[in-house]
Structure 1
Amino acid sequence: HHQRDQYHPYLVDIYEQLPVPFGLVRFGVAPDHPEVKNVINTFTQTARHSRCSFYGNVNVGKDVSVEELQQAYHAVVLVTTQTILPGEDLAGVYSAKDFVGWYNGLPSCQELSPDLSCETAVILGQGNVALDVARVLLSPIDILKKTDITHPALEALAESQVRRVLIVGRRGPMQVACTIKELREMVNLPDTRPEMVVADFQGVIDALKDLPRPRKRLTQLLLKTALEIPGEMEQERRNKASRTWGFRFFRSPVKVLADPDHNRTAGIRLAVNRLEGSGEGACAMLTEEVEDVSCGLVISSIGYRSVPIDPSIPFDSHKAIVPNTMGRVQQAAGLYCSGWLKTGPTGVIATTMNNSFDTARSLMEDMDSGVLHISSAKPGSQTIRALLEKRGVKPVTFSNWEKIDSVEVKRGEATGKPREKLLTVEEMLQVART
């Protein structure tokens, strides 16, 4: 829609640390949610465009600096974060990000081989990722067999001794962060029954009428699950179930408890909270009371925090974001950001997509208003490719990725899965370069 398109064909280059595209869509989405991956089709159409190039296997901040990119391009959009999780180093404690990465085939998480030999697992956090993890831990293996979950994870889960999963949140039932869809999947998961604490729901029924509709529906489903006496068929289903799950509200993790002889997880100490205020803005205040829960597995789905990839980029470590206005990085013309680097760790794939459209809009406005001097020529990928070559870095192109893709899909066909992922960067590179 720009008048000057014929004079200024925009070129867009994408740099990605892994040899494969799609980031969180590939490595963060639950394998039993294939519909969420539809965005891949849109991405693929764009990536095949003659003026778009994909350079995988390039670690920005290490193989090439942000400053070098700024010299080569009129505009640079950062969507990358390195995440750190303040966690315990005992065996049996994992971040949800790593655990999800393990069963989704993220190369850096393949060494994880989590120990699933305990009966009780505790998940910290009550968002959709926490529910994904709970669902994967408790799903009948026949359901998981038909997904693109990795083979090693499938084998480990088939042997798993985990029979009970507690999903812990610092606030109450009316503040839980998951969506009704994920909760419903949990409630209907075959061979499981819910196990809730009735006292946690005190006063919730009275508050229902004032809740906005989506929150109201979610809360009604929670109440029904926790308090309603089930009908005959549901009661029979629950009696037969061999696994249980439940929310534990008003609890904050204090520390992971070690078993006295080994450095293994034996439990977790939770502080009991009381809520101040009501609704979305309610705050969890610690009380003196603590409660110890025995468990052999702790998965933390709270506090993914970004750390800056490059010292030259302004960074707010308290909010864990790059300070920005509508995606424009403050005090840095030509530098933009999107994703969790822009907003902090919130929202689902759709939120992140809309968010990136906003950043793109800011960039287009800056071209129109002359904030970006696009009349001056910039070398783009030409210089960067030369730099990478000099540094011995061989990028993976989109057509290289398509080789990986077809090998994975072929491997999956053999066992009736949508794909069987390659699990190491070496394997990916080998296939990409054949």
Structure 2
Amino acid sequence: MTLRVAVVGGGPAGIYAADILTKSDVDVSVDIIERLPAPFGLVRYGVAPDHPRIKEIIKALDRVLDKPEIRFLGNVNFGTDVKLEELQEFYDAVIFSTGAKSDRDLGIPGEEHSIGAADFVSWYDAHPDDAPTWDFEGATRVAVLGVGNVALDVARVLAKTADEMLVTDIPAQVFEGLKTKQITDVHVFSRRGPAYAKFSPLELRELNHSPNVEVVVHPEGFDVDADGMEHIGKHKSQKMVLDTLANWVGRDEVGKPHRIHLHFMEQPAEVVTDADGKVVAFKTERTHSPNADGTVEGTGEITEWPVGQVYRAIGYKSDALPGLPWDERKAVIPNDGGKVLDLEGNHIPGVFTTGWIKRGPVGLIGHTKSDAAETVGHLLELTTETAPQRSDEAVDAFFAERGANVFTHEHWLKLNEHEIALGEAQERLRVKVPTREGMLDAGQS
């Protein structure tokens, strides 16, 4: 008999899990259930549009969706269109891989007046559930908090001109929004020193490629002590990052119209607003050199930076799913190697998880593959044929009765062709369709 599996979440984690299942020795049938019409999750809606090379992963993921054992059922929202107990009528096992799309909190005064990077990223990546416009509030100087690749993406998009971004896949609404920017200076802040920066070497070097943006590494706080040297000795990529940063410290400015300032050893202290709630400044506290474990402590020395907006890029977090247990502190589904656990710590039969909602928002694509392999291993070991209704036709009839407008892989392929055609007309690789209605129309026409 064929093992029937539902994967809730059509990003890399869910697609890798489906791929690994089909490569096993067990006959399987996999339905990937995704709330958006398009697959690929943060690869499509979390990678900056001026990084098309990173999006090459989409080609590999699309080949997985072409497999005959796998179906893509998009535009289906778990919790409203279908619940866990309903999925268990049709599938022997369910894997949850819904990722992380919310922003972590800072816990500082005035934080409610800051902007989550996830919201900004979703806007410039034309997420269909986001508003078509973005208000830069006339700011000329902004702060970005964090030293990961998302912080670099946000800083770069804030600093570059709209015309520079027009070669990417952004639709007209994003281009028109970027044209309203008046930003000249983007200040990026890190609590720790340069040895602990989490940028990837490639992302950091690309920060310096724009003809309109100058990267300024401030020497204050650019310290590497013995613990920092030991740290980079264990992490080759961070040694490359440090070497690049060191080459930029104190170099002469060449007069480009926009600047990205990198500040180290400055931790967030307060978002300052006026009487009307408009951001007017951002306060940081100078920190000590990191301890052996990389943690820092404040010195009490406060600096106030005049900025008009503050963007938090300190990490994503996952959201709880209806009907599933939830670890509020870790913001993950409680699990043991991908086996979902109830409140007593017992495995819920047939229920599994993988990706960031399993382990937290850490790690790159390689981690996602190994993570999925662990989950699938447990699934194949523990799962038996339990679903009473065992056909694709039964699933399709259920969603039809529920009134769900299911967007299949064939529909996605039509949408994909449509976006590529839009791009070709403008000598670009692609132009995204920014609305859910437009996506559905393009794919199902």
Return the TM-score normalized by structure 2. Answer: 0.85
C-alpha displacement of 1:58: 0.5
Match of 2:283 in 1: 269
Deviates more, 1:133-142 or 1:394-403: 133-142
CA distance in structure 2 between the aligned counterparts of 1:276 and 1:75, rounded to whole angstroms:
45
The one-letter amino acid of 1:274's match is: H
The one-letter amino acid of 2:247's match is: K
SS in structure 1 opposite 2:53? helix
Confirm whether residue 178 of structure 1 aligns to residue 190 of structure 2: no
The one-letter amino acid of 2:85's match is: E
The one-letter amino acid of 2:279's match is: T
CA distance in structure 1 between the aligned counterparts of 2:224 and 2:183, rounded to whole angstroms:
33
Asked if 1 retains the 8 angstrom alpha-carbon contact of 2:100 and 2:357, the reply is no
Q: How is 1:288-327 mapped onto 2 (pairs within 5 angstroms)?
A: 288-311=300-323, 313-327=324-338
Which of 152, 175, 194 is matched with 1:131 structurally? 152
Asked if 1 retains the 8 angstrom alpha-carbon contact of 2:102 and 2:118, the reply is no
- 4+ residue stretches of structure 1 with deviation over 6 A? 4-8
Confirm whether residue 422 of structure 1 aligns to residue 433 of structure 2: yes
Asked if 2 retains the 8 angstrom alpha-carbon contact of 1:401 and 1:432, the reply is yes
Confirm whether residue 14 of structure 1 aligns to residue 35 of structure 2: no
Over residues 340-361 of structure 1, what are the superposed CA-to-partner deviations in whole Å (9 max), with x where a residue is unaligned? 1011111233432342233233
Over residues 72-118 of structure 1, what are the superposed CA-to-partner deviations in whole Å (9 max), with x where a residue is unaligned? 2111110014644348444xx42111111111110122345131621
Over residues 159-179 of structure 1, what are the superposed CA-to-partner deviations in whole Å (9 max), with x where a residue is unaligned? 421111111122221111111
Asked if 2 retains the 8 angstrom alpha-carbon contact of 1:140 and 1:190, the reply is no
CA distance in structure 2 between the aligned counterparts of 1:385 and 1:289, rounded to whole angstroms:
62
Asked if 2 retains the 8 angstrom alpha-carbon contact of 1:339 and 1:352, the reply is yes
Match of 2:268 in 1: 253
Return the TM-score normalized by structure 1. Answer: 0.87
Match of 2:116 in 1: 95
CA distance in structure 1 between the aligned counterparts of 2:50 and 2:41, rounded to whole angstroms:
17
Which of 351, 367, 379 is matched with 1:363 structurally? 379
Match of 2:238 in 1: 215
Q: Aligned pair in 2 of structure 1 residues 395, 304: CA closer, same or farther (>3 Å)?
A: same
C-alpha displacement of 1:147: 1.2
C-alpha displacement of 1:382: 4.1
**Structure 2 residue runs without a partner (length 5+):** 1-19, 342-346
CA distance in structure 2 between the aligned counterparts of 1:6 and 1:156, rounded to whole angstroms:
47
SS in structure 2 opposite 1:244? strand
> RMSD of aligned C-alpha atoms?
2.7
Over residues 39-62 of structure 1, what are the superposed CA-to-partner deviations in whole Å (9 max), with x where a residue is unaligned? 222222222222211111100122
The one-letter amino acid of 1:302's match is: I
Give the fraction of aligned pairs with identical amino acids, expressed as a percent. 31
The one-letter amino acid of 2:169's match is: D
Over residues 289-333 of structure 1, what are the superposed CA-to-partner deviations in whole Å (9 max), with x where a residue is unaligned? 43322111221112422121123x222221111222332223212
The one-letter amino acid of 2:362's match is: T
CA distance in structure 2 between the aligned counterparts of 1:353 and 1:251, rounded to whole angstroms:
35
The one-letter amino acid of 1:247's match is: L
Q: How is 1:19-34 mapped onto 2 (pairs within 5 angstroms)?
A: 19-34=37-52
More helix as a share of residues: 1
SS in structure 2 opposite 1:17? coil
Which of 76, 101, 115 is matched with 2:136 structurally? 115
Deviates more, 1:320-329 or 1:282-291: 282-291
Q: How is 1:45-194 mapped onto 2 (pairs within 5 angstroms)?
A: 45-81=63-99, 83-85=101-103, 86=105, 88-90=111-113, 93-115=114-136, 117-194=138-215
CA distance in structure 2 between the aligned counterparts of 1:178 and 1:168, rounded to whole angstroms:
13
The one-letter amino acid of 2:168's match is: T
CA distance in structure 2 between the aligned counterparts of 1:346 and 1:417, rounded to whole angstroms:
32
Asked if 2 retains the 8 angstrom alpha-carbon contact of 1:129 and 1:301, the reply is yes
Over residues 365-403 of structure 1, what are the superposed CA-to-partner deviations in whole Å (9 max), with x where a residue is unaligned? x1xxxx211387652544443332232212111111122
The one-letter amino acid of 1:217's match is: M
The one-letter amino acid of 1:357's match is: A
Q: Aligned pair in 2 of structure 1 residues 373, 107: CA closer, same or farther (>3 Å)?
A: same
Asked if 1 retains the 8 angstrom alpha-carbon contact of 2:90 and 2:388, the reply is no
CA distance in structure 2 between the aligned counterparts of 1:145 and 1:152, rounded to whole angstroms:
11
Match of 1:345 in 2: 361
Q: Aligned pair in 2 of structure 1 residues 288, 359: CA closer, same or farther (>3 Å)?
A: same
CA distance in structure 2 between the aligned counterparts of 1:276 and 1:194, rounded to whole angstroms:
24
Q: Aligned pair in 2 of structure 1 residues 82, 32: CA closer, same or farther (>3 Å)?
A: closer
The one-letter amino acid of 2:325's match is: P
Q: Aligned pair in 2 of structure 1 residues 226, 426: CA closer, same or farther (>3 Å)?
A: same
C-alpha displacement of 1:253: 2.5
Asked if 1 retains the 8 angstrom alpha-carbon contact of 2:35 and 2:74, the reply is yes
Asked if 2 retains the 8 angstrom alpha-carbon contact of 1:99 and 1:109, the reply is no
CA distance in structure 2 between the aligned counterparts of 1:206 and 1:332, rounded to whole angstroms:
44
CA distance in structure 1 between the aligned counterparts of 2:68 and 2:52, rounded to whole angstroms:
28
**Structure 1 residue runs without a partner (length 5+):** none
Over residues 229-262 of structure 1, what are the superposed CA-to-partner deviations in whole Å (9 max), with x where a residue is unaligned? x4xxxx4xx32311111222223333322233x3
CA distance in structure 2 between the aligned counterparts of 1:173 and 1:270, rounded to whole angstroms:
17
CA distance in structure 2 between the aligned counterparts of 1:194 and 1:375, rounded to whole angstroms:
58
CA distance in structure 2 between the aligned counterparts of 1:109 and 1:89, rounded to whole angstroms:
19
The one-letter amino acid of 2:173's match is: P
Q: Aligned pair in 2 of structure 1 residues 252, 387: CA closer, same or farther (>3 Å)?
A: farther
The one-letter amino acid of 1:417's match is: R
Confirm whether residue 390 of structure 1 aligns to residue 408 of structure 2: no
Asked if 2 retains the 8 angstrom alpha-carbon contact of 1:120 and 1:294, the reply is yes
CA distance in structure 2 between the aligned counterparts of 1:359 and 1:346, rounded to whole angstroms:
17
The one-letter amino acid of 2:258's match is: R
